[in-house]
Amino acid sequence: MACHGGTQKFNDVPSHIALSDKMRADEVSCSSCHGPAHPTPAERENVPDRHPDVFSQELMEISADDLAKLMEKFNE
């Protein structure tokens, strides 16, 4: 709940409402239903290396509208 627990989108999900007491008591966790939040170490090892300049160039190619949409999704 530390990641999304305070968002309206999270709070509107019926199963989150039903399990809220158990989540606060650490009897269930997000990963009980959703699985790991982040890649496993083995999965991270398979990510191709990216040169910082390539990543920076890709970011510069994102439109202001797309960046705003991305930030909105990030903050949900």
Predicted confidence pLDDT, tens digits, the chain (76 residues): 677 777 888 888 888 888 888 888 988 888 888 877 777 777 777 666 655 555 555 555 667 787 777 777 767 6
Contact present, 4 and 74 (Cβ < 8 Å): no
Angstrom distance (rounded) from CA 3 to CA 75:
10
Is 0.85 surpassed by the pTM of this model?
no
Angstrom distance (rounded) from CA 13 to CA 71:
22
